[in-house]
């Protein structure tokens, strides 16, 4: 792993909070992700399933976590199953986790090789009343791929006579409220993103290609122990800035255009998610400035609304009102547009069609229960944008913030340049 070791008190606490929510005499299983194939013998880099990582910190393929807190056998209360290494694996891939290392990372004493899994699984299934399976219930999930976890659930279903429950609703809520250690890891990801952006501010000039900007970020991320972008980066100059999920990053940037960069580093599997929009030649035009400041005002005002007790849905209605007032000021909307709007189809949607905020953490669009009001230590993005097809450009700004009881959120990206003067002065 490129990241520094994480103190295992985080994982011990996460397991404690999770198992406190299980029914009596229950077992829960968590599987690693597959290593996904490309073709022939090539594979994508391994990405650990975020739930098993969250509960034990083990970042290795084929691992299984079993939580059976009421087991009469102390060895079965918490178990990690690991792939057992051999000379061949060591020769080709290097060291795999030892049992001692897995204990150190996770705080779990009972570590077994995978070869023992079937026997112990049979023992446990004879004893338990409920089996918690881990299904993907995220509000935006549209995954068609059958995961290792899905295959395991199918296997369990063949046992017959088991009483299934779902882990995911517990984790959706639990993972949305961050521990201080998690906040520090997300902050670290934001710091790395900041370094990338500062590098890019000095790099961008007319004639650079979008992929060259991507490369500058990538350089800074890797140098700072981030293994990769937290999500596929969007480097969108000129009219590309109107395409919300543009990821081709293959156009040359021209003087007079802006370039929208929606880029974040991961660190220790935690995401950061930043958007900055800058002028290719180092100076915004007056029109670009007007739209930029409208977006910045919405971002600043929306951030103030993020406080405990507010519902995600109500927050979005309020942000819509702020956006409407900014769009009126820059004359993209008229009074008659407002008179003709309906609550289902507000006028501002013509220029701002996506959500303002999502939870952020081990997933960029992180777990949460949107029916529960915001609370302390939720981490959310704030990312308004105004996209003007007719004028050939769009502007989005995005920061990551932590909700506080005081009502004043902590902006984890508060020190990443965003004001027009700052941006122009660094670029020049």
Q: State the residues that interact with ligand GLY by CB under 6 A.
A: 231, 262, 273, 358, 364, 383, 398
Intra-chain end-to-end CA distance of the chain, in Å: 38
Query: Does 381 sit near Mn ion (CB under 5 A)?
Result: yes
78 or 191, CB closer to Mn ion?
Answer: 191
Is position 51 an interface residue for Mn ion (rule: CB under 5 A)? no
What 3 state SS string does 224-289 have? Answer: CCCCCECCCCEEEEHHHHHCCCCCCCCCECCCCCEEEEEECEEECCEECCEEEEEECCCCCCHHHH
Contacts to Mn ion from residues 270-329, by CB under 5 A: 273
Give the nearer residue to ligand GLY in terms of CB position, either 57 or 196: 196
Q: Are 117 and 63 in contact (CB under 8 A)?
A: no
Q: Which of 51, 191, 262, 301 binds Mn ion (CB under 5 A)?
A: 262
Instruction: Give the contact letters, 216-255, x = binds to Mn ion (CB under 5 A), - = no.
Output: ----------------------------------------
Q: Which residue's CB is nearer to Mn ion, number 114 or number 370? A: 370
CB of 301 to ligand GLY, least distance (A): 19
**Which residues lie closer than 8 Å to 382 by C-beta, 6 or more apart?**
299, 302, 303, 306, 356, 357, 398, 399, 400, 401
Q: Please list the residues that pair with 265 across neighbouring strands.
A: 229
Check: CB of residue 382 under 8 Å from CB of residue 306: yes
Angle at 53 (CA atoms; ends 12, 63), nearest 5 degrees? 105
Which residue, 78 or 262, is less far from Mn ion as judged by CB?
262
Q: Name the residue nearer to Mn ion (CB basis): 59 or 273.
A: 273
Closest CA to 58 of 11, 115, 93: 11
Binding at 363: pick from ligand GLY, Mn ion, none (beta carbon under 5-8 Å per type): none
DSSP string, 116-134: GHHHHHHHHHHH-SEEEE-
Buried b (16+ CB within 10 A) or exposed e, 40-57: eeeeeeebbbbbbbbbbb
Nearer to ligand GLY, 34 or 398 (CB): 398
78: which strand partners? 67
Q: Min. distance of Cβ 26 from ligand GLY in angstroms?
A: 35
**Shortest distance in whole angstroms from residue 277 CB to ligand GLY:** 13
Shortest Cβ 398–ligand GLY spacing (Å)? 6
Q: Which is nearer to ligand GLY, 51 or 383 (CB)?
A: 383
Q: How far is the CB of 370 from ligand GLY (least distance, A)?
A: 15
Could you tell which of ligand GLY, Mn ion, none binds residue 149, using a CB distance below 5 to 8 A set by kind? none
How far, in Å, are 166, 219, 366, 427 from residue 228 at the CA level?
31, 10, 18, 26
Q: Least Å distance between CB 10 and Mn ion?
A: 24
DSSP state of 398: B
* Shortest distance in whole angstroms from residue 219 CB to Mn ion: 20
Sign of CA dihedral 163, 111, 51, 146: negative
Closer residue to ligand GLY (CB): 245 or 376 = 245
Nearer to Mn ion, 14 or 272 (CB): 272
Cβ 168 to ligand GLY, closest distance in Å? Answer: 21
Round to whole Å and give the CA distance between 7 and 18. Answer: 18
- The distance of closest approach from Cβ of residue 363 to ligand GLY in the complex, given in angstroms and rounded to an integer, is 11
Query: Taking CB within 5 to 8 Å according to partner kind, which of Mn ion, ligand GLY, none is near residue 231?
Result: ligand GLY
Binding site for Mn ion (CB under 5 A): 262, 273, 381, 383, 398
């Amino acid at each position: 792993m490129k990241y520094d070791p994480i103190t295992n008190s985080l994982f011990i606490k996460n397991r404690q909070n999770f198992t406190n929510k299980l029914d009596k005499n229950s077992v829960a299983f968590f599987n690693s992700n597959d290593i996904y194939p490309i073709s022939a013998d090539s594979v994508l880099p391994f990405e650990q399933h975020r739930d098993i990582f969250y509960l034990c910190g083990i970042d290795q393929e084929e691992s299984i976590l079993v939580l059976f807190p009421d087991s009469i056998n102390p060895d079965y209360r918490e178990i990690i199953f690991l792939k057992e290494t051999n000379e061949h694996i060591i020769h080709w891939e290097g060291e795999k986790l030892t049992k001692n290392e897995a204990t150190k990372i996770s705080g779990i004493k009972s570590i077994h090789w995978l070869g023992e899994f079937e026997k112990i699984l049979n023992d446990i299934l004879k004893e338990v009343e409920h089996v918690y399976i881990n299904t993907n219930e995220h509000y935006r999930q549209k995954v068609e791929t059958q995961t290792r976890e899905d295959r395991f659930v199918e296997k369990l279903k063949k046992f017959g006579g088991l009483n299934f429950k779902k882990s995911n609703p517990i984790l959706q809520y639990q993972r949305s409220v961050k521990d201080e250690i998690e906040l520090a890891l997300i902050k670290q990801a934001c710091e790395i993103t900041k370094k990338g952006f500062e590098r890019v501010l000095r790099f961008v000039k007319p004639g650079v290609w979008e992929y060259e900007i991507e490369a500058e970020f990538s350089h800074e991320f890797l140098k700072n122990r981030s293994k990769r972008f937290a999500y596929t980066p969007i480097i969108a100059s000129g009219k590309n800035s109107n395409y919300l999920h543009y990821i081709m990053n293959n156009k040359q940037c021209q003087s007079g255009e802006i370039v929208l960069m929606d880029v974040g580093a991961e660190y220790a599997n935690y995401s950061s998610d930043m958007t900055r929009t800058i002028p290719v030649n180092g100076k915004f035009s007056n029109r670009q400035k007007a739209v930029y400041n409208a977006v910045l005002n919405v971002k600043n005002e929306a951030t103030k609304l993020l406080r405990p007790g507010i519902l995600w849905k109500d927050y979005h209605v309020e942000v819509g009102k702020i956006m409407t007032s900014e769009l009126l000021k820059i004359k993209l909307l008229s009074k008659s547009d407002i008179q003709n709007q309906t609550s289902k189809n507000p006028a501002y949607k013509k220029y701002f069609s996506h959500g303002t905020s999502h939870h952020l953490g081990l997933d960029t669009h992180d777990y949460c229960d949107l029916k529960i009001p915001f609370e302390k230590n939720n981490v959310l993005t704030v990312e308004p944008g105004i996209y003007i097809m007719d004028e050939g450009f769009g502007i989005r700004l995005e920061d990551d913030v932590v909700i506080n009881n005081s009502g004043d959120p902590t902006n984890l990206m508060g020190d990443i340049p965003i004001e027009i003067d700052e941006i122009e002065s660094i670029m020049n």
